[in-house]
Amino acid sequence: MKQKIALITGATSGIGMETAKILSENHFNLIITGRRQDRLEKLKKELEHEKCEIHTLCFDVQSKTEVDQALDSLPENWKQVDILLNNAGLAAGIDPINQADWQDWEAMIDTNIKGLLYMTRKVSNWMIARQQGHILNISSIAGIQAYPNGSVYCGTKHAVNAISKAMRIELAPYNIKVGTISPGAIETEFSLVRFKGDEEKAAKVYDGFTPLNARDIAESIYFVLSRPAHVNIDDLLIMPTAQASARDFVKK
């Protein structure tokens, strides 16, 4: 059987990077993307082997022009994408609505919602032409529950859920699977990005309990991707044992 091609946005860190590792171990060909070219090159060197070819694309998902140029630049055989993992995303800041930085709002909306849409618009057409494919969108517990000082991040992930549900209905007639993965707290670069590089504040988020790690989520993603053709997992909500809801942590 032909090796599958998986396109992962945000493969330079966290969930995306660990998923690239698992998919390489399982002989997928990969298109890995992100804005940090050096990391993409390093990961390609680390993961490529005789049963895993890797193509890198360095671009910002916030820019429709960059997304289109990057995807159009793929050689024809690499456009036969079987799996699109819309993972690139961020939280910027944690502030009340009357004080938050509007540029943080723009970054979250442009990345988490618009970036996912730009990627999906193009890749879903390639999938429709082949009458097969699987689109997996990374949502969050923040897409199910809203919490104080996270209005816009929660809003973007609620949007990811609504968009995914509509996509699921629209794309089912073309034999395209659609689902979401909704994790709770995972220790990645996520908090470092949210707190603009403040390592102390970022580390504090995970004080006193064991968060999920990127491998936990990547393993679940692989499980979802490796189900038989007739099975679509619509959503998985995955939480640390010590986190019972968006803001309820059992801390030691």
- Residues 3-62 binding ligand 8X3 (CB under 6 A) are none
What is the pairing mode between strands 83-86 and 186-187? unpaired
User: With CB cut-offs between 5 and 8 Å by kind, which of ligand NDP, ligand 8X3, none does residue 133 bind?
Assistant: none
Sole window of 35-43, 114-122, 134-142, 219-227 interacting with ligand 8X3 (rule: CB under 6 A) = 134-142
Are 218 and 236 a contacting pair, CB within 8 Å?
A: no
User: Footprint of ligand 8X3 on residues 182-201 (CB under 6 A)?
Assistant: 185
Q: Least distance from C-beta 154 to ligand 8X3, angstroms?
A: 7
Residue 142 contacts ligand 8X3 per CB under 6 A: yes
Which conformational region is residue 10 in: left (phi greater than 0), alpha (psi within -120 to 50 degrees), or beta?
A: left
Which chain residues interact with ligand NDP by CB under 6 A? 9-16, 34-36, 60-62, 87-90, 111, 138, 140, 183, 185-186, 188-190, 193, 214
Considering the complex, what minimum distance in angstroms separates the CB of residue 125 from ligand NDP? 21
Whether 147 is a known active-site residue: answer: no
Applying CB under 6 A, the span of 18-26, 29-37, 62-70, 139-147 interacting with ligand 8X3 comes to 139-147
Site for ligand 8X3 in 60-99 (CB under 6 A): 91
In the list ligand NDP, ligand 8X3, none, the entry touching 246 (Cβ below 5 to 8 angstroms by class) is: ligand 8X3
Nearer to ligand NDP, 37 or 131 (CB): 37
Question: 28-57 b/e with 16+ CB inside 10 Å = b?
Answer: bbbbbbbeeeebbeebbeebeeeebbbbbb
Phi-psi region of 131 (alpha: psi -120 to 50; beta: other; left: phi over 0): left
* Contact status: 140 vs ligand 8X3 (CB under 6 A): yes
Q: Catalytic residue numbers?
A: 153
Site residues for ligand 8X3 per CB under 6 A: 91, 140-142, 150, 153, 185, 246
